[in-house]
A = this chain, B = another copy of it.
Amino acid sequence: MTPRTIGVTEVALRDAHQSLMATRMAMEDMVDACADIDQAGFWSVECWGGATYDACIRFLNEDPWQRLRTFRELMPNSRLQMLLRGQNLLGYRHYEDGVVERFVEKSAENGMDVFRVFDALNDPRNMARAMQAVKKTGKHAQGTICYTISPLHTTEGYIKLAGQLLDMGAESIALKDMAALLQPQAAYDVVKGIKDTYGDVQVNVHCHSTTGVTLVSLMKAIEAGADVVDTAISSMSLGPGHNPTESLVAMLEGTEYTTDLDMDRLLRIRDHFAKVRPKYAQFESATLVDTDIFSSQIPGGMLSNMESQLKAQGAGDRIREVMAEVPLVKADAGHPPLVTPSSQIVGTQAVFNVLMGKYKVLTGEFADLMLGYYGECIGERNPEVVEVARAQTKKEPITQRPADLLEPEWDKLVAEATALPGNDGSDEDVLTYAMFPSVAPGFFENRADGPKNVGKTPEQMASQAAAKGDDDRAVKGPITYKVSLGGREHNVVVERA
């Protein structure tokens, strides 16, 4: 029997460094791997998204659109893939439909092929316009299910959501597991359910590796019929990142499934990033494997957020109370998946409830969530808390699609963006301003300085390697000290002989 070929999406250029090193990787540390990535046989190459866009203009002084065009040029044979937050695009608010259309159009024009469209609340209405816009460009519109666990989330519910995404024209369905919560049996059940219900629709599965269990989930998803899975080259894998690409290849050897990946290319990609990764060590978290989320239901990033909020209030000892409060707040909000931004919104409200009394003070975002301004969740919202939100904000609850409330805003965005020093007058710049209005002005102004690499320089890496052999307490380079000697103070430069 000919084995069935499983497609692979390589995430090294986007989600891997986002998850492992706070999205800090500079384009110059990626370009040398692109030829091999382009030729390795991936189904697609994920390389763009909200956090990379943000990091480009906030930390790296890189034009994200230029990054996209460079990827396009360096990987002419690949499907370039991006993650798009539905009506939020790459920003944190709802955009008016005209902006959504323009953003998608420009992304396609600059080289994007596959748009993975998702919404944090799984509200199909927040994905519909972006999907439509993608269809209009002729590119690949992928509808996304954000996977989570709650008393209300069921296999049937996910299958139904897949149907809604297909109804809006999704060319494929992504099962997206941001928190490494997708256990093997659930992976099997959801994928099998989608395949059984809707026939031969393409299913992509995206997992993080945080809980140590999701390579098994990918195996089960493949057994259930999944067509494409997401992995990261081994030197950019594991921990809060993804399962290693080479391990996936090894996993399928001898089975009824195979990949068409070129192992020699994979090893060159691996070796490239093995050299690059240590440059960004200061941005890495220490987490290697963490299964706490299965019992706490609280993603690791959310937990550390809440801890630092508590500490800032001198209440670091109340984390257990907050952890017990989270599921209650989540239930009151109708069981949103806990991902950006819902995780921050729910977490901060849980902190407020513990410190100031239950729903005594709502954050603006939590009030909006309760009033429907982020869209609909799977569950009903607690009417008593909705009433508190209404009373506090004087805003009325809504049931329509949040973006329906927005006026056309493109012309206003153009006017504001083009007034900024350094703006180049392109639609791309308008979109950058639209996505990150507080960061874009600084970026436009300094863009001419060119890209900034926040990783360690080759010189720093070399001196660090040299120092590693030394005693822990030794001086590692020339340092000027104030030294008192015989009652007089001197400036003394000290360095290794």
Contacts and interface: CB of A to CB of B under 8 A. Distances in A.
Nearest to A477: B473
Contacts of A290: 234
B475 A213 contact: no
B475 A183 contact: no
A184 interface: yes
Nearest to A293: B250
Given A219-B216, A472-B464, A186 B254 contact: yes
Q: Give the interface centre of A212, A253, A255, A479 by most chain B CB atoms within 10 Å.
A: A212
A254 B294 contact: no
A249 interface: yes
Contacts of A248: 213
A454 interface: no
Nearest to A295: B263
Interface in A282-317: 288-292, 294-295
Contacts of A215: 212-213, 215-216
Contacts of A247: 211-213, 289, 291
A288 B247 CA distance: 12
Q: Give the interface centre of A216, A476, A497 by most chain B CB atoms within 10 Å.
A: A216
A251 interface: yes
Contacts of A237: 212, 288-289
Contacts of A497: 482
Contacts of A474: 479
Given A216-B219, A238-B288, A251-B183, A483 B472 contact: no
A287 to B, nearest CB: 10
Interface string A175-196: 0000000011110000000000
B294 A250 contact: yes
A1 interface: no
Contacts of A291: 234, 244, 246-247, 249-250
Nearest to A482: B497
Interface string A251-265: 101110000000100
A253 B294 CA distance: 10
A490 interface: yes
Contacts of A255: 184-185
A243 interface: yes
A184 B289 contact: no
A485 interface: yes
A481 interface: yes
A492 interface: yes
A14 B476 CA distance: 37
A216 B251 contact: yes
A183 B234 contact: no
A254 B187 CA distance: 11
Contacts of A212: 215, 234, 237-238, 243-244, 246-247, 250
A319 to B, nearest CB: 15
A355 B201 CA distance: 58
A324 interface: no
A391 interface: no
A98 to B, nearest CB: 45
Interface string A429-468: 0000000000000000000000000000000000010010
B472 A476 contact: yes
Contact of A216 (B216, B467, B475): B216
A219 B215 CA distance: 11
Nearest to A215: B216
A422 B431 CA distance: 80
A208 to B, nearest CB: 13
Contacts of A211: 247, 250
A328 interface: no
Interface string A199-233: 00000000000011101100100000000000000
Interface of A: 183-186, 211-213, 215-216, 219, 234, 237-238, 243-244, 246-251, 253-255, 263, 267, 288-292, 294-295, 464, 467, 472-477, 479, 481-483, 485, 490, 492, 494, 497
20 contacts: A183-B253, A184-B254, A184-B255, A211-B247, A212-B234, A212-B244, A212-B246, A213-B248, A215-B216, A234-B288, A237-B289, A244-B291, A246-B289, A249-B291, A250-B291, A253-B294, A263-B295, A473-B479, A481-B494, A494-B494
